[in-house]
Amino acid sequence: MMSGDGLILRLRPDQGRIEAAGFRTLCALARRYGNGVMEVTSRASLQLRGVSEAGYPDLLTEIAAAGLMPRLPQNGAGIIVQPFWRDGATGLEAEIAEALGALPPLPAKFGIALDHGAAPWLFETSADIRVERCAEGRLIVRADGAPLGRPVTPATAADAVAALATWFLETDGAAVRRMHRHLATPALPEGWATVAPASPTATPDPGPSPLGPIVGLSFGQAEAVALEMLIDQAEPVAIRMTPWRALLLEGAMAPVSAEGFIHRAGDPLRLIEACPGAPACASATVDTRSLARALAERMPNERLHVSGCAKGCAWPRRAKTVIVGREGRFDLVRDGHAWDEPALQGLTPAEIGDALVGKE
């Protein structure tokens, strides 16, 4: 994918996990073929930025030679596995990938959230079909946007996901691309909305977890050199991608305090979402992250989304406060999405600051 700073290479590793040696290899390749910037996305993908068109084929060759290419076919759909899985818990990922591979192509960014662990973690993660638990502990498959889902067993879950994806395609869901938008038109088939999912679990904060420390990346981005230093300090067995713009350092039980990362729940950047903005993104006309950093200390403990344009890529969900770049200035949306009607328009960074503290 081309952006303002060159090509972006996006990887969604199988099971969301990369062994430490492989992650080191990707850091080295990010410096050799890109601009040395790496990102963890809100869909638990890893991105290498600033790759030249000339170097792109060689980068792919080296990634494949290192055994780091995803092996599971996904037919355009991304399968996001909750990062706290244990051994033996991800066989369903391969079954779903195989079932989807037999279908016609799905829209870009169509997602499957595999959230079938003991606690639901992916409730805020963008997805179109969700495999999760109900309050009684049974598995259900649920269309995103529907309050209820269909009971399944581990043996029938993959076929149920494929059946729901087939219904989406056959009822022209590809025209609107996302399941929650599509549900506004046709009704789900009988039997697809009978059981409520379990109550969501709070998104984990940076810090210790049973599998290793969780380390946040400001805006989901870090220099490859800094990530290499983080691995040197933590010595993890593997790195697991999370949809919270954070890395889970599997097996690194010692405290981690590498500079430049988010290590504590109270960090003001923890709830700030900001896309790369201009000039890194050709769709943006504003510098998003300088404004986001300036506002971080002034904001209360609530979600703030600073978007370079109305597409809202960094946080395609509702936020308490959304600041949207437009023609070099900023619009302010309250309790909405980046594409919603703004309450205020054409503001400077200083005026945005005043508006957020009630001086408008």
pLDDT at site 73: 65
Strand order across the 304-307 sheet: 272-274, 304-307, 319-326, 329-336, 344-347
- Give the model's confidence band at 268: pLDDT under 50 very low, under 70 low, under 90 confident, else very high: confident
Between 265 and 323, where is the model more confident? Answer: 323
> pLDDT digit string (tens) for 4-52?
678 999 999 989 999 999 999 999 999 999 999 999 998 899 999 999 9
Rg for the chain, CA atoms, rounded: 20
Helices and strands in the chain, H and E counts: 8, 19
pLDDT at site 80: 93
pLDDT at site 252: 92
- Give the model's confidence band at 360: pLDDT under 50 very low, under 70 low, under 90 confident, else very high: very low
Q: What contacts 291, CB < 8 A, 6 or more positions away?
A: 274, 306, 323, 330, 349, 352
Cβ count within 10 A of residue 185: 11
Three-state SS at 333: strand
Find tokens 């016609």 and name the residue: 104
- Give the model's confidence band at 89: pLDDT under 50 very low, under 70 low, under 90 confident, else very high: low
Average pLDDT over the chain reads: 90
- Give the model's confidence band at 74: pLDDT under 50 very low, under 70 low, under 90 confident, else very high: low
Tokens of 319: 């936020």
pLDDT at site 316: 81
Between 287 and 280, where is the model more confident? Answer: 287
Between 200 and 55, where is the model more confident? Answer: 55
pTM of the predicted protein model: 0.88
What are the distances in angstroms from CA 332 to CA 109, 232, 277, 343?
A: 27, 42, 16, 6
Q: Which of 2-11, 102-111, 323-332 shows the lowest mean pLDDT across its residues? A: 2-11
Question: Is pLDDT of 310 > 80?
Answer: yes
- Give the model's confidence band at 359: pLDDT under 50 very low, under 70 low, under 90 confident, else very high: very low
Average pLDDT over residues 250-269: 84
Question: Is pLDDT of 196 > 70?
Answer: yes
> pLDDT digit string (tens) for 122-174?
998 989 999 999 989 999 999 999 999 999 999 999 999 999 999 999 999 99
The number of angstroms, rounded, from the C-alpha of 295 to the middle of its chain's C-alpha atoms is 23
